[in-house]
Chains A and B, each alone.
Chain A
Amino acid sequence: MRFSGFKVIKEALMGHKGWGPQWRNPEPKSHYDIIIIGGGGHGLATAYYLAKEFGQKNIAVLEKGWIGGGNVGRNTTIIRSNYLLDGNEPFYEFSLKLWEGLEQDFNYNAMVSQRGILNLIHSDGQRDAFMRRGNGMILNGADAEYLTADQIRAENPFLNFDDARFPIKGGLAQRRGGTVRHDAVAWGYARGADQRGVDIIQNCEVTGLRIENGVCKGVETSRGFIGANKVGSCVAGSSSRIMAHANIRLPIESHVLQAFVSEGLKPTIPGVITFGAGHFYVSQSDKGGLVFGGDIDGYNTYAQRGNLPTVEDVCESGMAIMPMIGRSRMLRMWGGVMDMSMDGSPIIDKTHIDGLYFNGGWCYGGFKATPASGWCYAHLLAKDEPHKVATAYRLDRFKRGYMIDEKGMGAQPNLH
């Protein structure tokens, strides 16, 4: 079934009786060519591109809960490609280009909205750093634009421009950035993968990896052993738990990131806005709620909930740049478990075990990377060589000294 305007009108006239399930609910087969562990955004995107772009047929996605129940449904839905370093920027720009064509590609309304992202500048030194980043973006084919305080005031009159401590001196804008309906990304990829024969198996937890003579033969699951020629882990915050089954210790700590939504308000915030002197990012959903977040809590955790000091810090940062939000009430808050890597950048690589592949370390920036992560992981799984924009995301880069440290924080995951 394809979605189209015609189909919507037809169903409206026919009493909406023609809509069926968007994907099957198959029993696992005994063997697959490729098994993806993790039915989140990245895992589903990987399966979709494996089937659609790389001609693979016999694929399964194993998900311990339900698809879209992890971080792909827990993020603040921002897409952008405003990175500095050569190892990162081409990858994220590839991702943004995929976002731009995604809805036509998988025939699903993901509400991709390129409403722009604006990083505020509060000091002369920060202006220098952001100018450099903007130039790095332009050199890699992305768009970047410096805005003066007056230009920002014309579009966002509600910001706290003349704050004594953190005056707004300008901003770096990426007009092609924006937001996406995050659940629809998981659903769209799941539907597209399922239509191409991928088995999406929910409520199937991987409890072990069967490794014989240095070769991964399949996975032990809560629904029995499933054999595979290739197994790809793609489980974000649970990466260390899965790879521990292969006795692999990762350069990753799991941390919780909280996100927040206010009550619904009239349209007021035009795009995504970030605070440059603290850590705060906000956009307004189509329902009217302010969607915002800040730092991770900063301690190892697998609990999908955080603590109050971070809530206070995030709200203080929000008040610092837009005092008007002090009158709105918080509606919901939640947490997701982040695979924080030692340099703040991700890993898409083979392991030293034949047939076992790893995708993780996305820190709290995995959502925007979903299409490119899926594409590049599919490329690696299908061809056994990295995609050209993901060559820097090697698992051994820490040992070899090729870190991709955007923030220059060193091997301290809670500071990235």
Chain B
Amino acid sequence: MIINHPILGPRDAAEFTYLGDASLLNRPDWQAADAADQFYEYLYLRDNPAGEHRELWYHEQGDRSWLVVTRNTLTHEISSVELASDVARAQGNKK
């Protein structure tokens, strides 16, 4: 697979490591009343869809940026690649 890095251009997927579903960007509030339930779902449960999947890739052997890659899990076709920092900022994440 080739991942079209927003800054560096097309790079071989072998340069990256894979973390998982991009919902991992949305870390629950540890002070919420139901924090234990929220963290259980955040840490362990996944949609695991067959089809379009937004996921986190880390450019370990490159510029060490985190990317949100939208990829089809049936065909491996990648439809969009964004910097995870941009995605998090657009969502209004504090960190």
Using CB atoms and an 8 Å cutoff, list the residues of chain A in contact with chain B: 238, 240-241, 244, 249-254, 298-303, 307, 309, 342, 398-399, 411-414
Contacts and interface: CB of A to CB of B under 8 A. Distances in A.
Chain B, interface residues (CB within 8 Å), range: 20 to 34
Given A399-B40, A414-B18, A301 B76 contact: yes
Interface of B: 1, 12-14, 17-21, 40-41, 43-50, 53, 55, 71, 73-76
- Chain A, interface SS category: mixed
- Chain B, interface SS category: mixed
Contacts, number: 68
Contacts of A240: 46-49
B60 to A, nearest CB: 12
B48 A309 contact: no
Nearest to A401: B40
A300 B73 contact: yes
A271 B55 CA distance: 40
Contacts of A342: 43-44
Nearest to B55: A300
Nearest to A308: B14
Contacts of B49: 240
B14 A250 contact: no
Contact of B18 (A244, A249, A298): A298
Contacts of B73: 254, 300-303
Contact of B50 (A250, A251, A252, A302): A302
B48 A307 contact: no
Given A299-B18, A412-B20, A249 B43 contact: no
Contact of B53 (A250, A300, A398): A300
Contacts of A413: 20
A309 B21 CA distance: 21
25 contacts: A240-B48, A249-B41, A249-B45, A250-B45, A250-B48, A252-B48, A253-B21, A253-B46, A253-B48, A254-B50, A299-B71, A300-B20, A300-B53, A300-B55, A300-B73, A301-B74, A301-B76, A302-B74, A303-B76, A307-B76, A309-B13, A342-B43, A412-B19, A413-B20, A414-B18
A102 B50 CA distance: 35
B54 to A, nearest CB: 10
Nearest to A400: B40
B38 to A, nearest CB: 12
Given A253-B20, A411-B43, A300 B48 contact: yes
B33 to A, nearest CB: 17
Contacts of A244: 47
Given A300-B20, A413-B20, A414-B18, A249 B76 contact: no
Contacts of B75: 303
Contacts of B14: 309
A251 B20 contact: no
B46 A251 contact: yes
A363 to B, nearest CB: 14
Nearest to A313: B14
A186 to B, nearest CB: 23
Contacts of A302: 50, 73-74
B70 to A, nearest CB: 12
A299 B57 CA distance: 9
A399 B40 CA distance: 6
